[in-house]
């Protein structure tokens, strides 16, 4: 099924993100986490693509596995580190595996890479290539708090408009912890004439280590409530985990209640976290 039809459907959507194994010896454990998450019957599951293309083979395999479990899959694909030839191979592979949905991304620029020598420079060029290849439903990334390389949010939104004009049918946001940042962002998109659906990406922070590794480095704005409700449990791992899940659930409930019907949870390969959040949302997504 095409993701755009799911998002535009009458029912609110709740999707989960997973990542493929880096090496073959980890395949089975990732596969069993995926099976557990699929049992929750999410609206769809998205499968990341390793930075620099390192886990490309497994992205397609895991996406196919998700589909074989009866869940719509969304395969991420990056282009900055790939030749045009490699991208075409990947697209043929995804097509052969029956994957219908691609999240078209540029990817982070690896240190030392001279982008003048690259076949692709921006995600919209990947979108062009995908569109030449076949009938995929294509999504793209967006950044409520601005992409770090962008000189301003206005410029970033101008570039988003180009991405959409090239065929990006829906956008998924980078994680955010303050829903007001999301609401302001969608207002800006509307004013800029960007009318494709925006899926809100929420990351549950379940440990102080994850907080240090992801949130501190990301530069995301943290509302006071995050400090009060989650960070105060810095020295109590179980309470921290519970509070992180509660915080993400509350964010999602607030989004649904304000009429945003598509929420994507970056629960990664943690079925228990996905299950708990889904349970917390049952009343608002039924």
Select 166 or 276, whichever has its Cβ closest to ligand FAD: 166
Structure tokens at 258: 């304000």
The span of 155-163, 182-190, 230-238, 272-280 binding ligand FAD (CB under 6 A) equals 155-163
CA–CA gap between residue 219 and residue 20 (Å, rounded): 26
**51 near ligand FAD, rule: CB under 6 A:** yes
**Between 3 and 42, how does the x/- string for binding to ligand FAD read (CB under 6 A)?**
----------------------------------------
Q: CB under 8 Å to 257, separation ≥6 — which residues? A: 284
Q: Which residues contact 146 (CB under 8 A, 6 or more apart)?
A: 152, 153, 156
CB of 153 to ligand FAD, least distance (A): 9
Helix (H) or strand (E) holding 137: strand 137-142
Q: Is 141 in the site for ligand FAD (CB under 6 A)?
A: yes
First to last CA, the chain: 20
Which of 8, 150, 184, 210: binder of ligand FAD (CB under 6 A)? 150
In which element (H, E) is residue 14 found? strand 13-18
Exactly one of 15, 33, 65, 163 binds ligand FAD (CB under 6 A); that residue is 163
Closer to ligand FAD by Cβ: residue 11 or 155 = 155
Candidates 88, 147, 188, 242; binder of ligand FAD (CB under 6 A) is 147
89 is a catalytic site residue: no
**201 phi and psi angles, rounded to 5 deg:** -95, 120
Is residue 118 a contact point for ligand FAD (CB under 6 A)? no
Per CB under 6 A, 49 contacts ligand FAD? yes
129 vs 156 by CB, closer to ligand FAD: 156
Identified binder of ligand FAD from the candidate list 7, 30, 87, 105, rule CB under 6 A: 105
SS3 call for 199: strand
Question: Under a CB-based contact definition with an 8 Å cutoff, are residues 265 and 202 in contact?
Answer: yes
Q: Is 119 in the site for ligand FAD (CB under 6 A)?
A: no
Give the residue carrying structure tokens 């991420």.
76
Q: Using the rule CB under 6 A, is 107 a contact of ligand FAD?
A: yes
Query: Given the complex with ligand FAD, which of 100 and 145 has the nearer CB atom?
Result: 145
Q: Considering the complex, what minimum distance in angstroms separates the CB of residue 176 from ligand FAD?
A: 10
- Minimum distance between the CB of residue 286 and ligand FAD, rounded to whole angstroms? 26
Of the residues 78, 82, 179, 269, which one makes contact with ligand FAD according to CB under 6 A: 78
Q: What is the DSSP letter of 80?
A: T
Rounded-to-integer distance, Cα 168 and Cα 164, Å: 4
Alpha helices in 120-270 (DSSP H): 123-133, 153-165, 179-191, 208-210, 216-218, 224-229, 237-257
Catalytic residue among 17, 65, 100, 145: 17
The DSSP line for 242-266 is HHHHHHHHHHHHHHHHTT--EEEE-
By annotation, the residues acting in catalysis are: 17
């Amino acid at each position: 099924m095409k993701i755009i039809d799911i998002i535009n459907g009458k029912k609110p959507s709740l999707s989960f993100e997973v990542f493929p194994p880096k090496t073959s010896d980890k395949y089975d454990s990732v596969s069993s986490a995926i099976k557990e998450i699929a049992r929750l019957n999410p609206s769809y599951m998205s499968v990341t693509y390793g930075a620099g293309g390192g886990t490309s083979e497994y992205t397609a395999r895991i996406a196919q596995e998700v589909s074989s479990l009866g869940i719509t899959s969304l395969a991420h694909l990056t282009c900055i580190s790939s030749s045009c030839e490699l991208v075409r191979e990947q697209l043929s592979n995804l097509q052969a595996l029956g994957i219908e949905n691609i999240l078209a991304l540029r990817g982070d620029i690896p240190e030392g890479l001279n982008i003048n020598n690259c076949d692709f420079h921006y995600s919209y060029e990947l979108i062009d290539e995908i569109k030449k290849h076949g009938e995929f439903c294509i999504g793209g990334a967006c950044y409520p708090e601005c992409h770090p390389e962008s000189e301003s949010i206005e410029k970033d939104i101008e570039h988003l408009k180009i991405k959409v004009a090239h065929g990006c049918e829906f956008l998924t946001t980078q994680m955010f912890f303050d829903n007001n940042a999301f609401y302001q962002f969608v207002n800006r998109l509307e004013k800029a004439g960007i009318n494709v659906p925006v899926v809100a990406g929420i990351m549950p922070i379940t440990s102080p280590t994850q907080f240090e590794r992801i949130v501190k480095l990301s530069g995301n704005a943290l509302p006071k409530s995050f400090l009060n409700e989650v960070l105060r449990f810095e020295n109590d791992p179980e309470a921290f985990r519970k509070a992180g899940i509660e915080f993400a659930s509350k964010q999602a409930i607030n989004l649904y209640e304000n009429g945003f019907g598509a929420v994507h949870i970056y629960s990664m390969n943690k079925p228990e976290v996905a299950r708990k959040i889904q349970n917390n949302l049952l009343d608002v997504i039924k």
